[in-house]
């Protein structure tokens, strides 16, 4: 050893054997050859060779000289680096180099050589790999820990390795690099920020995308050194997040990206960092909070993340950001929800409440993304979302924004198709979402055309996919219809009707285009285009596109022929698809990727194309029905329970009704012997509803049976006769209509039915009277002239005298106001049918020449007047006796508390009958003001069901423009209804009726001269007059009652004045000012009726209006049961004054002088010479009951009843006379819409939309065009014919549902209720507030669809009142005008 040291000290370099001196004097090639030998020598040496280590020490020092470290040749440098690496291995743990600078130079030199690893295809790659392997295995760089510049060395090494790593390197290279770098971190004393940045920069998304291998290397390094490097990572984030020292690192701006990557690599790296994020979530900086929210959304939503369970405080803090004030933050939270639901179903419970709040967020985008998140998760797996989350989507189908509604509807449709039609998750999942189909169809009730079009598209693509094979498609439709609820069924029926109507409109357009071009045809085409446009989205653009399409049809015969085939009744589903494809192909433009014109035409074609129903489809549907009849259908497998006792059960019932609906929209498809034979089999079934549906199908499709199917005719006729004579009432009704529609010898058939029924009528056998009365009633409506004499005798002697004027059977004791149908006494049911029979008889006659209409109206109002007990003998199922205080305070009497349910039924029947008759112009003319006012009070009846059904009938007549405008004023009384749901529904109906009339005026410019009978604003005078004669309004100084009336008035005005369209506010104000100058036409000489209001009274009334329909609760109202003891506050109303004369005796007063100062001339009432007597009569106290009718009176017929009414009632005003209209000055100056509507009058409109013509009141004529029943007449020109339409035309559609009205009425349990104190003498005014509150508490939530069904976009044409005839509204006392004036000046403006 001593000798060796001596040699070392001598500085003599010893080379391995065979190796000569290596110096700059030799060539590069020779230097490389000699260095290779040196490398081989060092490679073979190990650490135990002490002599060799000493021998080659000077050589080791020589190889570290600048000559080699800075040599220009890379091969030389590589070989030297390999030698140096081996030297560090051999001399470890102590290196032969002691100078820190020299060590730095050496390691920097080795690091530079490692760059050669980048080229894996280099011949020298193995030597580079050997270099890496050697220094990694020996951990040579650990020597640098003691150097001051160690950080520079390590940083350069890390940068080099991260830069050279690529996808050409194998796993060994990757492993040696990790070993090398991890040893530095794990064994070193510290990790500098620069070194940390060198590692972390590879995690930044931009770098990650550029060099995926560097990212993987950094990821492996961090996993290997997680425990050692975690404090330095924590310190970095503390400096940046908590202290805001962003200058310490260039990566400060990527801090949140780094946190996410580090969490994905190893969550332990951030154990101390995550609590800092909770602090950042509460930062005042919106952008900073947003970045943290985005970060945590990814961390919580990651598939394998357990962060929510591991760090619950952070999770709860994050959930709080769902309610952040900053919109982008809430939006980000909502977007995160879908990932969280899909990857972490256990967190759905925590998210539900927050998503519920966000589903009502004011921002449209957030509500939209809530739907997207829930639907996305549900489509992946239905189990990921609970029922609450699906309900949020359900609610958003009614969102105010179309984008949100569309997303919700489409989402539900996709879920339904996946889990219900395709059954991807089994029957349980299908059952869970069974409500979707009903909800989607309910949306068809919405007024928006976009909603309705989307429902149609959803039905064709998702609910009953049109691309299914015919049998599968019909099976799908069959079971879908079998499981729909009643409102969805109505919506689906309406959808088919609307599509059929539009199909007819397009067919008419094609026919017009084919005609020679004239001015008249051009106007007709334009009118038809306008009608079609209303059935398309964005009517403004649609109008331009339809004009363009019309021009295309005129020019291109091929497209026209394709469209003609498409709308043909014989078009099959396959042909329809081909026609649509050819038309769109011809209209398309390859050079124009987005073609709005083509999109609009596609909308039209989708609506009119028969993609579901054709002859083949009907045949398949009939076979499916037959399978259910035979019990061979797989009903149980489809989830539809089958009752074996009735073989088909509910699904067959509804499926049969499907056919009834389709028979109306696709009658041609039913014309086959197989179909009719199957329907005959249905007629013989025990299920009444199935037989009813079959009869409806025969009625709709049987026009050709007599000619084309004689064997069906011979088999059908005896069945119809049997049904008409002995079948259930509804079947008897349809049987009569079938005979009328099918057989040419209907007069003979009617005679064969009428005569035996007429002779067999027995007033004592109630159970066998209902069907004959129904049958005779419909015969009277369809063939009034054939049986004119016997019908009049039948009504006078049997209906009135034997049925209505007699009470025979006592009933059970009850204090309820309403009972189910099965508990109603047979006698009451017979009386109801008797009333309906009289109404049908009058609707068939359509005239009052024999005064039958006057007599009937007098009878009906007497029923209302007597609270349903026409005879007032107390025989209608007597119950209990109570001592009650009557209007006359000095007297107390024992009176029978009559059977209220039967009386309620009769009041309802009488009220509905008057409304029905009012829809016929000839009978509306003879309805007196008192009768109208008495009928109006039915909407405030004390029985909930009476109010509900009467309101339905009223709404139905108004929405179809059949009832005159004054009947809309009755809706104002709904503000007094004690049940909140009834008030809300009444408001909804009122809004719809007003919109229907406004839309009708917009679409029919030619009816501008009929504004008095159509313009909704003209309902205000009618309303004021009706409220002025409210029996509760008896004292001018009654402040509480004035407030109540103010609420009623505002119930109407609030809707009318929601928008100041066409300066309507000024128009109404001017109209009210004109009203103030008038006297009440019902009592122009009555000073008390016309007295002005004191200012102090108005001031007391003029308080801020409450919400519409809400009653004041400060004092006892009209609903209270305690009667007012003061007789002066309860004068008789005009409708209750006894001794009223027959209107025929009042004709002489029509030409007498009458004071008129109104801009709106009204119906003239009689000028009575005994007005003082009238006032005295009005001030008399009234008793509850009239005197009982004597036995002799019971035997009187209708004519005798007229005379009896003359003796019992005070004179009533005559209402049916015409008065010349007095034009208001405001018509020209303040109602500009009228002028606008008078311009561009279209002379020849299509029949469906022709304007009301002069000469008749109440409703426009119904036409066949547009899907109306066949019996209704067709208007041939713009001038109305005086010829009467067939008797069934006016009433048949309403008769379809009349018998159903009470079947599904919601039962309202009530306790004992007494009559109201003020309104009782005139009508059942309502229940006490206490009883009403009980009723409200016990009742279920009302279904808004219960009483309304979808109305097609085209309003059925009805005859409307003439301007001259509205002169009946010469009304409004100064009291109301002043009250309204204050409402305008103080509350509204």
Task: Classify each residue of 15-35 as buried b or exposed e, where b means 16 or more C-beta atoms within 10 Å of its C-beta.
Answer: bbeebeebeeeeeeeebbebb
CA distance 346 to 350: 8
CA distance 1157 to 806: 48
Local structure of residue 554 (DSSP, 8 states): H
For 928, how many CA atoms within 13 A lie in the half-sphere containing its CB?
A: 26
Nearest to 527 by CA among 1273, 1233, 1243: 1243
Task: Give the tokens for residue 1285.
Answer: 């339409």
CA distance 321 to 329: 7
CA distance 269 to 230: 5
Asked whether the beta carbons of 1105 and 1042 are under 8 A apart, the reply is no
Nearest to 839 by CA among 731, 754, 911, 759: 911
Task: Give the tokens for residue 693.
Answer: 């549906």
- The percent of the chain in helix, strand and coil, each rounded to the nearest 5, is 65, 0, 35
Instruction: Write out the DSSP string of 128-171.
Output: HHHHHHHHHHHTGGGGGGGSTTHHHHHHHHHHHHHHH--TTS-H
Asked whether the beta carbons of 625 and 659 are under 8 A apart, the reply is yes
CA distance 1234 to 445: 30
Nearest to 535 by CA among 429, 607, 632, 483: 607
Alpha helices in 386-518 (DSSP H): 387-396, 402-416, 426-432, 435-442, 449-458, 470-483, 486-514
What's the pLDDT score for residue 993? 92
Stretches in the chain below the pLDDT threshold 70: 1-11, 590-593, 630-666, 668-669, 810-812, 872-898, 1005-1009, 1092-1389
Backbone angles phi, psi at 424, to 5 degrees: -75, -20
What's the pLDDT score for residue 150? 86
Ramachandran sector of residue 159 (left: φ over 0; alpha: ψ -120 to 50; beta: rest): alpha
Asked whether the beta carbons of 1198 and 857 are under 8 A apart, the reply is no
Local structure of residue 268 (DSSP, 8 states): G
Adjacent-strand bridge partners of 897: 880
Listed in sequence order, the residues at least 6 apart from 226 whose beta carbon sits closer than 8 Å to its beta carbon are 266, 268, 269
CA distance 776 to 838: 10
Asked whether the beta carbons of 75 and 121 are under 8 A apart, the reply is no
Residue 1152's SS3 state is coil
CA distance 674 to 670: 9
Backbone angles phi, psi at 75, to 5 degrees: -70, -40
Q: Is the pTM of this model over 0.85?
A: no
Asked whether the beta carbons of 1011 and 1364 are under 8 A apart, the reply is no
Asked whether the beta carbons of 1195 and 1257 are under 8 A apart, the reply is no
Task: Give the tokens for residue 607.
Answer: 């609506």
What's the pLDDT score for residue 658? 57
pLDDT in tens, 48-97: 777 777 787 888 888 888 888 888 888 888 888 888 888 888 887 777 88
Alpha helices in 872-1018 (DSSP H): 900-918, 921-924, 929-936, 944-959, 980-1003, 1011-1014
Adjacent-strand bridge partners of 880: 897
Asked whether the beta carbons of 110 and 68 are under 8 A apart, the reply is no
Backbone angles phi, psi at 897, to 5 degrees: -80, 100
CA distance 464 to 460: 6
Asked whether the beta carbons of 226 and 272 are under 8 A apart, the reply is no
CA distance 729 to 727: 6
Asked whether the beta carbons of 16 and 61 are under 8 A apart, the reply is no
Q: Residue 1022 belongs to what H/E stretch?
A: helix 1019-1028
Rounded to 5 degrees, what angle do the CA atoms 73, 78, 83 make? Answer: 125
Alpha helices in 1032-1143 (DSSP H): 1039-1056, 1064-1075, 1095-1101
CA distance 830 to 1227: 51
pLDDT in tens, 87-98: 888 887 777 888
Adjacent-strand bridge partners of 892: 885
Asked whether the beta carbons of 972 and 1052 are under 8 A apart, the reply is yes
Strand stretches in 113-199, DSSP E: none
């Amino acid at each position: 050893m001593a000798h060796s040291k001596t040699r070392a000290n001598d500085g003599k370099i010893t080379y391995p054997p065979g190796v000569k001196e290596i110096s700059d004097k030799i060539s590069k090639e020779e230097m490389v050859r000699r260095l290779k030998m040196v490398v081989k020598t060092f490679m073979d040496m190990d650490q135990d060779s002490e002599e060799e280590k000493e021998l080659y020490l000077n050589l080791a020092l020589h190889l570290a000289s600048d000559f080699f470290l800075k040599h220009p040749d890379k091969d030389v440098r590589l070989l030297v680096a390999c030698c140096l690496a081996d030297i560090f291995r051999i001399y470890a743990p102590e290196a032969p180099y002691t100078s820190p600078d020299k060590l730095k130079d050496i390691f920097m030199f080795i690091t530079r050589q490692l760059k050669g690893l980048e080229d894996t295809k280099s011949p020298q790659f193995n030597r580079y790999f050997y270099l890496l392997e050697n220094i990694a295995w020996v951990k040579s760089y650990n020597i640098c820990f003691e150097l001051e510049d160690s950080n520079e060395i390590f940083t350069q090494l890390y940068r080099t390795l991260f830069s050279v790593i690529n996808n050409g390197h194998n796993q060994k290279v990757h492993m040696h690099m990790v070993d090398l770098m991890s040893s530095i971190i794990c064994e070193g004393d510290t990790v500098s920020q620069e070194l940390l940045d060198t590692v972390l920069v590879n995690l930044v998304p931009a770098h990650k995308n550029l060099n995926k291998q560097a990212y993987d290397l950094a990821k492996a390094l961090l996993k290997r050194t997680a425990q050692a490097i975690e404090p330095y990572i924590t310190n970095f984030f503390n400096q940046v997040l908590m202290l805001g020292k962003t200058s310490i690192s260039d990566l400060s701006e990527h801090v949140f990206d780094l946190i996410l990557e580090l969490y994905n690599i190893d969550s332990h790296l951030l154990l101390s960092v995550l609590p800092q994020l909770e602090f950042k979530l509460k930062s005042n900086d919106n952008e900073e909070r947003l970045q943290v929210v985005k970060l945590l959304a990814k961390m919580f939503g990651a598939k394998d993340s357990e962060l929510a369970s591991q760090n619950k405080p952070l999770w709860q803090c994050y959930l709080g950001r769902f309610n952040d004030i900053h919109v982008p933050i809430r939006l980000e939270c909502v977007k995160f929800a879908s990932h969280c639901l899909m990857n972490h179903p256990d967190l759905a419970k925590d998210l539900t409440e927050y998503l519920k709040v966000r589903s009502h967020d004011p921002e449209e985008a957030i509500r939209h993304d809530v739907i997207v998140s829930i639907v996305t998760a549900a489509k992946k797996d239905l189990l990921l979302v609970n029922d609450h989350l699906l309900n949020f989507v359900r609610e958003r189908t009614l969102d105010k924004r179309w984008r949100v509604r569309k997303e919700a509807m489409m989402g539900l449709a996709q879920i339904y198709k996946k889990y219900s039609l395709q059954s991807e998750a089994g029957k349980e999942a299908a059952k869970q979402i069974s409500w979707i189909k009903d909800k989607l169809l309910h949306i068809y009730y919405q007024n928006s055309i976009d909603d309705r079009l989307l429902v149609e598209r959803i039905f064709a693509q998702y609910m009953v996919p049109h691309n299914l094979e015919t049998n599968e498609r019909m099976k799908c439709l069959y079971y879908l219809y079998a499981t729909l609820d009643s409102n969805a069924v109505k919506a689906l029926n309406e959808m088919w009707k609307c599509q059929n109507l539009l199909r007819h409109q397009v067919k008419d357009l094609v026919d017009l285009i084919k005609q020679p071009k004239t001015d008249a045809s051009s106007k007709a085409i334009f009118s038809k285009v306008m009608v079609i446009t209303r059935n398309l989205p964005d009517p403004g653009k649609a109008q331009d596109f339809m004009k363009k399409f019309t021009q295309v049809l005129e020019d291109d015969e091929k497209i026209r022929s394709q469209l003609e085939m498409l709308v043909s009744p014989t078009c099959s589903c396959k042909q329809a698809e081909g026609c649509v494809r050819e038309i769109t192909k011809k209209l398309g433009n390859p050079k124009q990727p987005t073609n709005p014109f083509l999109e609009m035409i596609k909308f039209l074609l989708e609506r009119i194309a028969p993609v579901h129903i054709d002859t083949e489809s009907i045949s398949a549907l009939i076979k499916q029905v037959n399978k259910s009849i035979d019990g061979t259908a797989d009903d149980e497998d489809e989830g539809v329970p089958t009752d074996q006792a009735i073989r088909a059960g509910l699904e067959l019932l509804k499926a049969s009704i499907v056919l009834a609906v389709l028979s109306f929209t696709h009658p041609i498809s039913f014309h086959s012997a197989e179909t009719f034979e199957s329907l005959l089999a249905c007629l013989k079934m025990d299920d009444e509803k199935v037989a009813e549906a079959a009869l409806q199908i025969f009625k709709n499709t049987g026009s050709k049976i007599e000619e084309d199917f004689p064997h069906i005719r011979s088999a059908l006729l005896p069945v119809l006769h049997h049904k008409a004579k002995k079948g259930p009432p509804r079947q008897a009704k349809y049987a009569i209509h079938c005979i009328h529609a099918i057989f040419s010898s209907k007069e003979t058939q009617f005679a064969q039915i009428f005569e035996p029924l007429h002779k067999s009528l027995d007033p004592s056998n109630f159970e066998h009277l209902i069907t004959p009365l129904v049958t005779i009633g419909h015969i009277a409506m369809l063939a009034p002239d054939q049986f004119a004499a016997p019908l009049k005798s039948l009504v006078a002697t049997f209906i009135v005298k034997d049925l209505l004027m007699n009470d025979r059977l006592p009933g059970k004791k009850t204090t309820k106001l309403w009972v189910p149908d099965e508990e109603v006494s047979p006698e009451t049911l017979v009386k109801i049918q008797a009333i309906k029979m009289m109404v049908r008889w009058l609707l068939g006659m359509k005239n009052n020449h024999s005064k039958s209409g006057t007599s009937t109206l007098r009878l009906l109002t007497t029923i209302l007047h007597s609270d349903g007990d026409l005879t007032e003998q107390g025989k209608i199922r007597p119950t209990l006796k109570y001592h009650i205080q009557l209007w006359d305070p000095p007297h107390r009497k024992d009176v029978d508390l009559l059977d209220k349910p039967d009386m309620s039924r009769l009041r309802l029947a009488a009220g509905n009958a008057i409304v029905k008759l009012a829809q016929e112009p000839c009978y509306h003319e003879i309805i007196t003001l008192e009768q109208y006012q008495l009928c109006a009070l039915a909407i405030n009846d004390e029985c909930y069901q009476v109010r509900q059904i009467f309101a339905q009938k009223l709404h139905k007549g108004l929405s179809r423009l059949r009832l005159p405008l004054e009947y809309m004023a009755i809706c104002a009384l709904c503000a007094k209804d004690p049940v909140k749901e009834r008030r809300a529904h009444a408001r909804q109906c009122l809004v719809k009726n007003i919109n229907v009339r406004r839309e009708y005026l917009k679409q029919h410019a030619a009816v501008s001269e009929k504004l008095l009978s159509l313009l909704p604003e003209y309902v205000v005078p009618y309303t004021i007059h009706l409220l002025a004669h409210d029996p509760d309004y008896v004292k001018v100084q009654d402040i509480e009652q004035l407030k109540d009336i103010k609420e009623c008035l505002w119930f109407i005005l609030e809707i009318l004045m929601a928008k100041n369209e066409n300066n309507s506010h000024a128009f109404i104000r001017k109209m009210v000012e004109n009203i103030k100058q008038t006297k009440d036409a019902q009592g122009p000489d009555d000073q008390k009726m016309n007295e002005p209001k004191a200012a102090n009274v108005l001031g007391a009334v003029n308080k801020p209006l409450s919400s519409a329909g809400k009653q004041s609760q400060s004092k006892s109202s009209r609903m209270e049961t305690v009667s007012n003891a003061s007789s002066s506050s309860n004068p008789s109303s005009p409708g209750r004054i006894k001794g009223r004369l027959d209107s025929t005796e009042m004709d002489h007063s029509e030409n007498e002088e009458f004071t008129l100062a109104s801009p709106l001339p009204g119906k003239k009432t009689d000028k009575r010479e005994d007005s003082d007597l009238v006032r005295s009569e009005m001030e008399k106290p009234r008793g509850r009951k009239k005197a009982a009718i004597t036995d002799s009176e019971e035997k009187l017929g209708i004519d005798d009843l007229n005379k009896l009414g003359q003796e019992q009632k005070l004179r009533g005003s005559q209402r049916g006379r015409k008065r010349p209209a007095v034009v208001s000055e405001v018509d020209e100056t303040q109602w500009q819409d009228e002028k606008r509507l008078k311009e561009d009058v279209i002379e020849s409109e299509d029949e469906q939309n022709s304007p009301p013509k002069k000469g008749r009141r109440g409703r426009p004529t119904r036409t066949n065009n547009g899907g109306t029943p066949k019996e209704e007449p067709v208007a041939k020109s713009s001038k109305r014919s005086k010829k009467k339409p067939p008797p069934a035309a006016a009433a048949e559609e309403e008769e379809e549902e009349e018998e159903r009205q009470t079947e599904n009425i919601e039962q309202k349990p009530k306790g004992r209720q007494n009559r109201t104190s003020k309104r009782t003498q005139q009508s059942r005014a309502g229940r006490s507030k206490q009883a009403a509150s009980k009723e409200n508490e016990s009742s279920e939530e009302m279904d808004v669809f219960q009483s309304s069904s979808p109305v097609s976009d085209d309003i059925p044409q009805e005859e409307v009142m003439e301007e001259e005839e509205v002169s009946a509204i010469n009304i409004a006392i100064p009291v109301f005008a002043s009250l309204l004036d204050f409402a305008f000046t103080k509350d509204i403006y």
